[in-house]
Amino acid sequence: MLPDHQLLRIPGPSPIPPSVQRAMSQPMIGHRGQETKDLLHRIKPKLKPIFGTEQDVLIITGSGTSGLETAVVNTVKPGDEVLIIVTGAFGDRFVKICNAYGIKTHRYDVDWGAAISPDNIKKYLIEHPEIKVVFSTYCETSTGVLNPVQELAQVVHQNSDALVVVDGVSCVGAVETEMDEWGIDVLVTGSQKAMMLPPGLTFVAASERAWKVIEENEQPRFYLDLKKYRDNLVKDSTPFTPAVSLLFGLEQVLKLLDEEGLEQVYARHQLMTKMTRAAFSGLDIPLLTSDRAASPTVTAIKPVDFQAEDLRKILKEDFGLAVAGGQQHMKGEIFRIGHMGYCSPADVLQIVSIIEIGLKKIGNPIELGSGTRAAQEAYLHLNF
Amino acid sequence: MLPDHQLLRIPGPSPIPPSVQRAMSQPMIGHRGQETKDLLHRIKPKLKPIFGTEQDVLIITGSGTSGLETAVVNTVKPGDEVLIIVTGAFGDRFVKICNAYGIKTHRYDVDWGAAISPDNIKKYLIEHPEIKVVFSTYCETSTGVLNPVQELAQVVHQNSDALVVVDGVSCVGAVETEMDEWGIDVLVTGSQKAMMLPPGLTFVAASERAWKVIEENEQPRFYLDLKKYRDNLVKDSTPFTPAVSLLFGLEQVLKLLDEEGLEQVYARHQLMTKMTRAAFSGLDIPLLTSDRAASPTVTAIKPVDFQAEDLRKILKEDFGLAVAGGQQHMKGEIFRIGHMGYCSPADVLQIVSIIEIGLKKIGNPIELGSGTRAAQEAYLHLNF
Residue A186 lies in a domain: yes
- Residues in chain A, overall count: 384
Which amino acid is it at A377?
A: E
Residue B181 shares a structural domain with residue B40? yes
Give the closest of A256, A320, A361 to B384, CB-based: A361
Digitized pLDDT (tens) for each residue of chain B, 384 residues in all: 889 999 999 999 999 999 999 999 999 999 999 999 999 999 999 999 999 999 999 999 999 999 999 999 999 999 999 999 999 999 999 999 999 999 999 999 999 999 999 999 999 999 999 999 999 999 999 999 999 999 999 999 999 999 999 999 999 999 999 999 999 999 999 999 999 999 999 999 999 999 999 999 999 999 999 999 999 999 999 999 999 999 999 999 999 999 999 999 999 999 999 999 999 999 999 999 999 999 999 999 999 999 999 999 999 999 999 999 999 999 999 999 999 999 999 999 999 999 999 999 999 999 999 999 999 999 999 875
pLDDT band at A232 (very low <50, low <70, confident <90, very high): very high
Nearest to B227 by CA among B242, B241, B212: B212
What is the Cβ-side half-sphere exposure of residue A219, based on CA atoms within 13 angstroms?
27
Residue B342 shares a structural domain with residue B202? no
Residue B215 shares a structural domain with residue B342? no
Can you give the residue range of the structural domain that contains B321? 7-14+262-383
Residue A229 shares a structural domain with residue A351? no
The yes-or-no verdict on residue A145 having pLDDT over 90 is: yes
> What would the mean pLDDT of A336-361 be, rounded to a whole number?
98
Residue B89 shares a structural domain with residue B191? yes
What residues in A contact B368, CB-CB < 8 Å?
A: 372-373, 376-377, 380
Q: Chain-centre distance of CA A157, in angstroms?
A: 23
Give the closest of B350, B373, B377 to A349, CB-based: B350
Nearest chain A Cα distance for residue B123, angstroms:
43
Nearest chain B Cα distance for residue A17, angstroms:
7
The answer, for B372 touching chain A at a CB cutoff of 8 Å, is yes
The answer, for A384 touching chain B at a CB cutoff of 8 Å, is yes
Distance of CA A67 to CAs A39, A75, A191, A202, A224, Å? 22, 12, 11, 5, 8
Q: Which residues contact B46 (CB under 8 A, 6 or more apart)?
A: B254, B257, B258
**Phi–psi pair at A8, nearest 5 degrees:** -95, 100
Share of chain A above pLDDT 90, in %: 99
pLDDT at A324: 98
Nearest chain B Cα distance for residue A51, angstroms:
20
Residue A22 shares a structural domain with residue A165? yes
Question: Could A347 and B343 be called an inter-chain contact, meaning their C-beta atoms sit closer than 8 Å?
Answer: no
Nearest to B343 by CA among B159, B173, B125, B165: B173
In what helix (H) or strand (E) does residue A293 lie, and over which residues does it extend?
none
pLDDT at B384: 55
Residue A216 shares a structural domain with residue A287? no
Q: Cα separation of B67 and A299, whole Å?
A: 51
Residue A246 shares a structural domain with residue A273? no
Q: Indicate which CATH number applies to the domain containing B368.
A: 3.90.1150.10
Bin A295: left if φ > 0, else alpha if -120 < ψ < 50, else beta: beta
- Do residues B280 and B252 make contact, with C-beta atoms less than 8 angstroms apart? no
What residues in B contact A360, CB-CB < 8 Å?
A: 376, 380
Question: Could B368 and A384 be called an inter-chain contact, meaning their C-beta atoms sit closer than 8 Å?
Answer: no
Tell me the β-bridge partners of A145. A140, A294
Residue B278 lies in a domain: yes
Q: State the CB neighbour count (10 A cutoff) for residue A204.
A: 26
Nearest residue on chain B to A279, alpha-carbon basis: B369
Q: Cα separation of B48 and B54, whole Å?
A: 6
Which amino acid is it at B365?
A: P
Residue B71 shares a structural domain with residue B174? yes
Question: Could A372 and B353 be called an inter-chain contact, meaning their C-beta atoms sit closer than 8 Å?
Answer: yes
What residues in B contact A345, CB-CB < 8 Å?
A: 319
In A, residues 24-53, which contact B (CB 8 Å cutoff)? 25
Residue B140 lies in a domain: yes
Tell me the β-bridge partners of B59. B203
Q: Cα separation of B39 and B19, whole Å?
A: 17
In B, residues 59-88, which contact A (CB 8 Å cutoff)? none
- Over A200-237, what HEC string results? CEEEEEECHHHHHHHHHCCCCCCCCCHHHHHHHHCCCC
pLDDT at B101: 96
In A, residues 182-211, which contact B (CB 8 Å cutoff)? none
The answer, for A1 touching chain B at a CB cutoff of 8 Å, is yes
Q: State the CB neighbour count (10 A cutoff) for residue A340.
A: 30
pLDDT at A117: 97
Q: Cα separation of B17 and B264, whole Å?
A: 17
- The structural domain count of chain A equals 2
In B, residues 235-274, which contact A (CB 8 Å cutoff)? 256, 259-260, 268
Q: Indicate which CATH number applies to the domain containing A32.
A: 3.40.640.10
What residues in B contact A346, CB-CB < 8 Å?
A: 5, 7, 319-321, 350, 353-354
What residues in A contact B17, CB-CB < 8 Å?
A: 3-5
Residue B2 lies in a domain: no
Average pLDDT, chain A: 97
Give the closest of A2, A256, A374 to B268, CB-based: A2
Which of the listed residues A238, A258, A278 is the one where a domain comes to its end? A258
The DSSP secondary structure of A70-91, one letter per residue, reads: HHHHHH--TT-EEEEEESSHHH
Nearest chain B Cα distance for residue A34, angstroms:
27
Question: Could B1 and A384 be called an inter-chain contact, meaning their C-beta atoms sit closer than 8 Å?
Answer: no
Tell me: cis bond preceding A13? Omega within 30 of 0 counts: yes
pLDDT band at A384 (very low <50, low <70, confident <90, very high): low
Question: Could B2 and A344 be called an inter-chain contact, meaning their C-beta atoms sit closer than 8 Å?
Answer: yes
Q: Cα separation of B8 and B228, whole Å?
A: 36
Which of the listed residues A258, A287, A318 is the one where a domain comes to its end? A258
pLDDT band at A69 (very low <50, low <70, confident <90, very high): very high
Give the closest of B17, B18, B321 to A346, CB-based: B321
In A, residues 289-318, which contact B (CB 8 Å cutoff)? 318
Residue A107 lies in a domain: yes
The answer, for B321 touching chain A at a CB cutoff of 8 Å, is yes
Question: Could B342 and A377 be called an inter-chain contact, meaning their C-beta atoms sit closer than 8 Å?
Answer: no
The answer, for A2 touching chain B at a CB cutoff of 8 Å, is yes
Residue A254 shares a structural domain with residue A296? no
Give the closest of A17, A268, A376 to B357, CB-based: A376
Residue A2 lies in a domain: no
Residue A1 lies in a domain: no
What is the Cβ-side half-sphere exposure of residue A130, based on CA atoms within 13 angstroms?
7
pLDDT at B199: 95
Count of CB pairs separated by less than 8 Å, A with B:
134
Which amino acid is it at B309?
A: E
Q: Cα separation of A187 and A180, whole Å?
A: 10
Tell me: cis bond preceding B13? Omega within 30 of 0 counts: yes
ipTM of the complex: 0.90
Sheet bearing A58-61, strands edge to edge: A58-61, A201-206, A186-190, A163-167, A131-137, A81-86, A104-109
Residue A365 lies in a domain: yes
pLDDT at A1: 82
Tell me: the pLDDT tens digits for A296-335? 999 999 999 999 999 999 999 999 999 999 999 999 999 9
In B, residues 327-346, which contact A (CB 8 Å cutoff)? 342-346
Residue A42 shares a structural domain with residue A162? yes
The three-state secondary structure class of A131 is: strand
pLDDT at A383: 72
Which of the listed residues A240, A258, A276 is the one where a domain comes to its end? A258
Q: Cα separation of A129 and A14, whole Å?
A: 40
Question: Could B350 and A347 be called an inter-chain contact, meaning their C-beta atoms sit closer than 8 Å?
Answer: yes
Residue B271 shares a structural domain with residue B252? no
The yes-or-no verdict on residue A367 having pLDDT over 80 is: yes
Sheet bearing B324-325, strands edge to edge: B298-301, B335-338, B324-325
Q: Which residues contact A222 (CB under 8 A, 6 or more apart)?
A: none
- Over chain B, what HEC string results? CCCCCCEECCCCCCCCCHHHHHHHCCCCCCCCCHHHHHHHHHHHHHHHHHHCCCCCCEEEECCHHHHHHHHHHHHCCCCCEEEEEECCHHHHHHHHHHHHCCCEEEEEECCCCCCCCHHHHHHHHHHCCCEEEEEEECEECCCCEECCHHHHHHHHHHHCCCEEEEECCCCECCECCCHHHHCCCEEEEECCCCCCCCCCEEEEEECHHHHHHHHHCCCCCCCCCHHHHHHHHCCCCCCCCCCHHHHHHHHHHHHHHHHHCHHHHHHHHHHHHHHHHHHHHHCCCCECCCCCCECCCEEEECCCCCCHHHHHHHHHHHHCEECEECCHHHCCCCEEEECCCCCCHHHHHHHHHHHHHHHHHCCCCCCCCHHHHHHHHHHHHHHC
Nearest residue on chain A to B315, alpha-carbon basis: A346
Tell me the β-bridge partners of A172. A175
- Do residues A321 and A335 make contact, with C-beta atoms less than 8 angstroms apart? no
